[in-house]
Amino acid sequence: MKLKQYVQNLHEFIALHPEALDHEVYFSEDIEGNGFDKVLVTPALVYFEDLDHPDSPVFVGEKEDGGMPENMCNAVIIN
């Protein structure tokens, strides 16, 4: 899913459930819902070598720190 679609889904969800804006946000550890935890961090831009098999993201940052320039990023991590 692209970030644009994710944000659109959130807007539609809030339109139907405005009270949810005051609820805590959790994420599922897997698609089967075998575990849940609170969302603790803000989104981050990253680069994945292979988007079909994401592993070891490189975060935006200074080249000296091993980070990826923002214009090279291809994904957003939401937690």
- Euclidean distance between CA atoms 29 and 37, whole angstroms: 8
* Domain limits for position 1: 1-38
Query: In the predicted model, is pLDDT for residue 65 greater than 60?
Result: yes
- Total domain count for the chain? 2
Domain co-membership, 50 together with 26: no
pTM: 0.74
Q: What is the largest CA-CA distance in the chain?
A: 46
Query: In the predicted model, is pLDDT for residue 63 greater than 70?
Result: no
Domain co-membership, 52 together with 29: no
Domain co-membership, 79 together with 54: yes
Domain co-membership, 30 together with 61: no
Domain co-membership, 25 together with 47: no
Write down the pLDDT at residue 66.
65
Domain co-membership, 27 together with 57: no
Nearest Cα to Cα of residue 54 among 20, 77, 25: 77
Domain co-membership, 63 together with 77: yes
3-state helix, strand, coil in the chain (%, to 5): 30, 20, 45
Query: In the predicted model, is pLDDT for residue 22 greater than 70?
Result: yes
Domain co-membership, 6 together with 23: yes
